[in-house]
Every structure is written in C-alpha cells, then in structure tokens.
Amino acid sequence: MNYYTEIKNELINNEITKKVKDYSKNKSDLTTYYNVGKLLSEAGKHYGEGIIKEYSRRLTKELDVKYDISSLNKMKKFYLLSLKLATVSPKLSYSHYVELLSRNNIDEIKYYIRITEQQNLSVRELRARIKNKEYERLDNETKDKLINNTTPAVTDFIKNPIVIKNNTNKEIISEKVLQRLILEDIPAFLDELGSGFTFIRNEYKIKIGNYYNYIDLLLYNIEFNCYVVVELKVTELKKEHIGQIEVYMNYIDKHLKKITQDKTIGIIICKKDNKFIMEYCSDSRILTREYLEI
C-alpha cells in the first residue's frame, strides 16, 4: 500500500467536502482524520515514526496547506483514542477530541464526552471544564457509577471542592460576601453543581413560628424533580449547620413541594468539610462541599 497517496487523497477529499457540503463538515472531519490517523499508524510500523516528518513536508508542499508534524500526530492519536472508545460521537467535533488527547484516563475522557454531548459544550467551554479539573473533583463513588453505567443521584455530580470565582479580589469574610460572588456568575456556580440545576432566588424568605428565616440560595433540579436548599458558611462545618438546613428542607417539603416532586435535598458549602460531624448526620439528603476561591 502507498500510505502517502492514501493519506493525500483523504485530505484532498475532505477539503472538497468542506467547501461543497457545509452540513457534513463535522462527519467528514471525523472520518478523514480517523482514516489518516490509521494510515499514519500503519506507516509508522512499516517505516518508523520518522515517516510522519517526511509526510508533513510533502503534504504541506503539494497541497499548499500546513499539515505540520503536530497536526499529523494529533490525527494518529485521535485514531488510537477512537479504538479505545469503540465509537466516536458525531455530536463532538474533531476540535473537541483534540482537547481530550492530552488526557490519559479513558474514564475521564468518557466523562468529558458525556457532558459535552448532554450540555452541548463548545470547545472553549470543554477546555475550561478540563482546566478546572472537573472530573478529578468528583468523588470515587460517582466515578464508579459512571464506569458501571449505574443510575446517578442528584448529588453525584456536585464537585468537591466547589470553585467560586473571585474576580473582585474581595476577602470572603461573611456568607453575604460569598453569596455575592456566587450571584455574580450564577451559570458557573450551577455548572459546579452538575446538570439540571436552575436558580429560584437568593435570601428566600420563610416563616417558622413567629420568625422569618432566609435560605441563602433556593434552587430546583429539573432532571431530578426536586428543590435544592443551599446554605453558605465561611467557617468549618458545625453540627448546628446541619440542624439549620434540615429545618429549611423540611419547610420546603411541607409548604412548596408537590406530591409529584421528590424530597428536597440540602447542600452546605463551607470553608472546610468536617467529616467527623457528617458521620453523625443521619439525613442522606444533606451534602457538604468545601469551596475553593480562585
């Protein structure tokens, strides 16, 4: 087989497809770069890895398009990754896959493919998720569920720690300041919690007995059909925090939740998670997460 001629023809046909059939650009890219990657892999076995440098020089000269060594190596890596994945999602572009080539953990790669499909992430958004180490901040139980295709719970994809952006460089000295930072970029905060979360309001007023109380953040999860109470603490977790959020959750269940909705869950975002306290918390609906200021 003349590997060079096959590679050249694949790339020429792809360039023609891009110009004529706009709707099929992505499919053509994925197919072409898979085929080129396969040919490069096979050529490397026959002629040694240095053949990519030779092909790069010839392709760039003959096609008047810069196919540098890096680009060809990415196509080869894309092909090898595709073998591990078994199938390539047409919902992701080749540029999406390029962002994933630096990842070594196949389970991590599958996670990012999954959220890109579900949330229609752009390449820039996917890059930001990877940079923020989103997969690494999932707990091991959630990762096991992903590997075994087990049905997830609403709390599974809440990151730990939760990243709070502080573009103002304000020192977080109170719950009010922390809340303000969250409100400045609600979409980013909801992404930290996972998928399906929507914002209802902050300082949600409820009346318990003769006194008014205010829930820091009241959310709703569309996918899991339940309210979410979020309490913010700038100290380590304390047992009274658990009692407080339990009262708020019970209030929402009694006064807001409809019979068709699932029970309210609670999230305590605190400065540092105190595992000892949580061992004595019998309510599995309450989750604690540290916050990380960046």
Which pLDDT tens digit goes with each residue over 220-251?
Answer: 999 999 999 999 999 899 999 999 999 999 99
Q: Tell me how far CA of residue 128 lies from CA of 85, 221, 265, in angstroms.
A: 22, 23, 28
The pLDDT > 90 percentage for the chain reads 68
pLDDT score recorded for residue 211: 92
Q: What is the pLDDT of residue 26?
A: 85
pLDDT, tens digit, 9 for 90 and up, residues 63-96: 888 899 999 999 999 999 999 998 899 899 999 9
What is the model's pTM? 0.85
pLDDT confidence of residue 17: 79
What pLDDT is recorded for position 145? 92
**Four-residue CA torsion sign, 293, 228, 191, 137:** positive
- Name the residue ranges covered by the structural domains of the chain: 1-88, 153-293
Please report the pLDDT score of residue 226 as a whole number.
96
Dump pLDDT digits (tens) for 10-54.
998 888 877 766 656 788 899 999 999 999 999 999 999 899 999
- DSSP symbol at 272: B
If one looks up domain 153-293 in CATH, what number appears? Answer: 3.40.1350.10
pLDDT score of 23:
52
Strand 226-232 with 211-221, pairing: antiparallel
Strands 211-221 and 197-208 come out as antiparallel
Does the N-terminal peptide bond of residue 90 adopt cis geometry, omega within 30 degrees of 0?
Answer: no
Task: Supply angle C-alpha 90, 25, 69, rounded to 5.
Answer: 90
CA distance 31 to 64: 22
Residue 59 is predicted with a pLDDT of: 92
pLDDT of residue 25: 73
Helix runs in 64-104, H state only: 69-85, 94-100
pLDDT tens profile 191-203: 999 989 999 999 9
